[in-house]
Amino acid sequence: MVENSLEGIIEFATVRAQQEWDEHKQPYLLARLSPDLSAEGVDYRTVLGEQKLKDFVAGHADKLKVVVHPQQRAKIGLLPADVDFEFETAADNETQSGRRRPTSDAGIHGSKRRYIVGNFLQMVSELDEADAKQVEIPAHILAKLLRDK
């Protein structure tokens, strides 16, 4: 149970950052903190008032370190204070491998692409009406997916 207080929030964030580091050697993403706190019954906005969550956490450098991705500014991670970490950039990935990574659809061409997109659209058509109304795919994206590579 998380205490609905400033100390409770920072303790929860510290524990989660340590767990994420111990298990995956990755930062605990700040974007996960709010829903995780909500799941514990804590509304951080009520506790923090006007203060931003990032600013609040950054003010506890003795317990947590805040890291920001150099290219994806919205990707903010929390780490234990004693850990050194930097997000990898696309340039880092290219220099490590000596070439660009293949895209996720690099091996899917022609009729296989059309088959996959067709099956996806068939599945969308089978959704109930309320869910189907939530699916919005611009026509230019569908056209791009159907193109032969």
Residue owning tokens 């959704």: 127
Q: Cα separation of 122 and 118, whole Å?
A: 6
Contacts of 41 (CB under 8 A, 6+ apart): 1, 2, 4
pLDDT in tens, the chain (149 residues): 889 899 999 999 999 999 999 999 999 999 999 999 999 999 999 999 999 999 999 999 999 999 999 888 889 999 999 999 988 877 655 555 555 555 554 566 777 777 788 888 888 888 888 888 888 888 888 888 877 65
Secondary structure element (H or E) that encloses residue 76, with its range: strand 76-80
pLDDT value, residue 98: 54
* pLDDT score, position 16: 96
Helices marked H in 25-136 — which ranges?
30-39, 44-48, 53-58, 90-97, 110-125, 129-134
pLDDT at 107: 63
CA 26 to chain centre: 12
**What is the DSSP secondary-structure string of 18-50?**
HHHHHHHSSPEEHHHHHHHHHHTT--HHHHHTT
Residue 10, phi then psi, degrees to nearest 5: -70, -35
CA 147 to CA 142: how far, in whole Å? 9
> CATH for 6-93?
3.30.420.610
Residue 129, pLDDT score:
83
The pTM score is 0.60
With 0-12 / 13-18 / 19 or more C-beta atoms within 10 angstroms meaning exposed / middle / buried, residue 2 is middle
- DSSP run (H or E) holding 66: strand 64-68
Query: How many whole angstroms separate alpha carbon 64 and alpha carbon 78?
Result: 6
